[in-house]
């Protein structure tokens, strides 16, 4: 049974091999334009058509500029759930233009229009952004900054006590330090070990789906060391995938 879906927008996964050890479905979106960082309604409909028949419950969705794809995943959910997000940013900015979905506003949009989303727990957010969540969301959003997550285990206890029975997990690798991964965005200081500890706290819940983004895409600023970052990110993806596969088989009731 296929558990992994790889969404190819930039070609970055063609330079990695973590997904080649088992069954995997490849969804090619490399022909789409105007979708890097944001998309309009027409592009959203096209992407949704391509992912409508996903078999995998683990979704690798390319670079951080495509984190808005998580919104398309969670709006398929038809039961109360908690969204747990590892990210160095809140992704709760207002949309710059009406009808435009972006990597910077997708969580805010989900909170605004997805009735089954009951709570969001953000982990690894930059200290400078931890207090920027609008007050209207205060009772539905809990933020653990990178320094708070590094100070003690209170954030892990929150996962154990405050997460609902059903969970969707979204991982942007920019929450982790440069020793762990390389991304196109400013990065935090969390470790993959902390992610693994968090996942152990969630294993008793029903994991409806997981997505992972944060690849480093070919860019002039990376000239001369892309091969090094590809290798590092490939190893991180392999470790994350092993964590997910070892922790769960395909969950009953998971979204497709």
Q: What pLDDT sits at residue 255?
A: 60
Residue whose tokens read 């609008």? 134
127-174 pLDDT, tens digit per residue, is 999 999 999 999 999 999 999 999 999 999 989 998 989 999 999 999
Token digits of residue 57:
């419950």
CB 106 within 8 A of CB 70: yes
Write b or e for each residue in 160-176: b if 16 or more Cβ atoms lie within 10 A of its Cβ, otherwise e.
eeebeebbbbbbbbbbb
Percent of the chain whose predicted confidence (pLDDT) is above 90: 80
pTM: 0.93
Q: Domains in the chain and their CATH numbers?
A: 4-247 (3.40.800.10)
199-221 pLDDT, tens digit per residue, is 999 988 999 999 999 999 865 45
């Amino acid at each position: 049974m296929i558990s992994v879906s790889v969404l190819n927008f930039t070609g970055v996964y063609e330079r990695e091999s973590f997904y080649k050890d088992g069954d995997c479905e490849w969804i090619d979106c490399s022909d789409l334009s105007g979708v890097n960082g944001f998309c309009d309604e027409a592009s959203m409909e096209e992407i949704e058509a391509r992912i409508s028949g996903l078999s995998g419950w683990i979704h690798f969705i390319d670079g951080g500029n495509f984190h808005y794809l998580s919104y398309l995943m969670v709006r398929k959910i038809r039961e109360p759930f908690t969204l747990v997000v590892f990210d160095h940013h809140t992704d709760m900015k207002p949309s710059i233009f009406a009808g435009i979905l972006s990597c910077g506003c997708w969580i805010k949009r989900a909170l605004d229009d997805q009735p089954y989303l009951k709570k969001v727990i953000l982990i690894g957010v930059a200290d400078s952004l931890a207090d920027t969540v609008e007050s209207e969301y205060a009772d539905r959003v809990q933020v653990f900054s990178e320094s708070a997550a590094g100070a003690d285990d209170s954030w892990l206890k929150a996962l154990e006590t405050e997460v609902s029975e059903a969970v969707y997990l979204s991982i942007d690798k920019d929450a982790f330090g440069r020793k762990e991964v390389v991304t196109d965005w400013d990065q935090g200081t969390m470790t993959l070990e902390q992610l693994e500890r968090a996942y152990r706290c969630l294993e008793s819940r029903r994991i409806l789906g997981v997505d992972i983004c944060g690849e480093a895409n070919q860019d002039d600023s990376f000239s001369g060391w892309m091969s090094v970052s590809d290798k590092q990110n490939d190893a991180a993806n392999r470790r994350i995938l092993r964590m997910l596969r070892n922790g769960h088989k395909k969950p009953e009731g998971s979204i497709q």
